[in-house]
Amino acid sequence: MSRKKIIAGNWKMNKTPSEAVELVKTLAPLVQNPEVDVVYCVPAIDIIPVRDAIAGSNVHLGAENVYFEESGAFTGEISPAMLKDAGVEYVIIGHSERRGYFGETDQDINKKLLKLLEHGFNPIVCCGESLEQRESGITMDWINMQIKIAFQGVTADQAKGVVIAYEPIWAIGTGKTATTAQAEEVCKGIRETICGLYDEATAAAIRIQYGGSMNAKNCAELLAEPDIDGGLIGGAALKPDFGTIVKC
């Protein structure tokens, strides 16, 4: 089954609103590729200015997080309805930094996924292992658990619209990257997990990104693999290199 590639930039806690608009302008001529879904997942304060800056372009708007309640006394959080009204299409959930720094659990990710699907978003669900887990030989056991909990209550039809991002935690922001073979092995394993949860058609439809320091130098090799359908890009998303990745 042919799956459209998806290259999403995770800006993390970078770029003021004015800086964000400048970056969008810089990247605009570099990311024009109709064969790829291009997404900017930006800090909450940048959502509105970036939405306006990408209007009429091929770029989709994404957010970096969401809360699983509709509204209420949750100071500092952002609801699905707020993101929807602002024009957001994609939302990252379960990123290793959210799990590690802010204590988000697999159960939290499941609540967020269900809420995003209820509101018609395209969720990007992150999963991945630490260096200790990889060296202990439990990479797929760990990732299988993350996925199975995250997708509880999600139907096969809903699952087909979810993007899964495999992010080896040991390769994020360190300059290290999994070998192409390692990345493909895990992404293939994730697809097999989805097949076990649902069926072959769902596994064939779901898009799986690699999210471990993909850059302009290694993107072509990684994206040539049969089970790697794109990238969740961190540092390189803030540079012209992002355009090179899109062109790959």
Instruction: Reply yes or no on whether the pLDDT at 34 is more than 90.
Output: yes
**pLDDT on residue 178:** 82
Q: Which of 95, 97, 129, 184 is catalytic?
A: 95
Chain centroid, CA 9 distance in Å = 8
Sequence-distant (≥ 6) Cβ neighbours of residue 148 within 8 angstroms: 193, 197
Tens-digit pLDDT profile for residues 177-205:
689 999 999 999 999 999 999 999 999 99
Tens-digit pLDDT profile for residues 63-76:
999 999 999 999 99
Which residue stretches of 74-174 are H helix? 80-85, 96-102, 106-118, 131-135, 139-150, 156-159
Active site residue 70: no
Task: Name residue 40's beta-bridge partners.
Answer: 9, 61
Q: Taking each helix axis as running N to C, give the angle between helix 139-150 and helix 106-118, from 0 to 180 degrees, rounded to the nearest 10.
A: 40
Nearest to 243 by CA among 25, 19, 21: 25
Sequence-distant (≥ 6) Cβ neighbours of residue 22 within 8 angstroms: none
Instruction: Reply yes or no on whether the pLDDT at 174 is more than 70.
Output: no
Nearest to 84 by CA among 47, 52, 49: 47
Cα-based distances in Å from 196 to 2, 151, 155, 158, 209: 20, 12, 13, 16, 19
Which CATH number among 1.10.10.10, 2.60.40.3680, 2.40.50.100, 3.20.20.70 corresponds to the domain 5-247?
3.20.20.70
Tell me how crowded residue 206 is: count the other CB atoms within 10 A of its CB.
23
Active site residue 35: no
Please, are residues 110 and 152 in contact by the beta-carbon 8 Å criterion?
yes
Distance CA(76)–CA(55), nearest Å, equals 27
Tens-digit pLDDT profile for residues 91-127:
999 999 999 999 999 999 999 999 999 999 999 999 9
Instruction: Determine the length of the chain.
Output: 248
Residue 134 in 3-state DSSP? helix
Q: Which of 64, 97, 129, 167 is catalytic?
A: 167
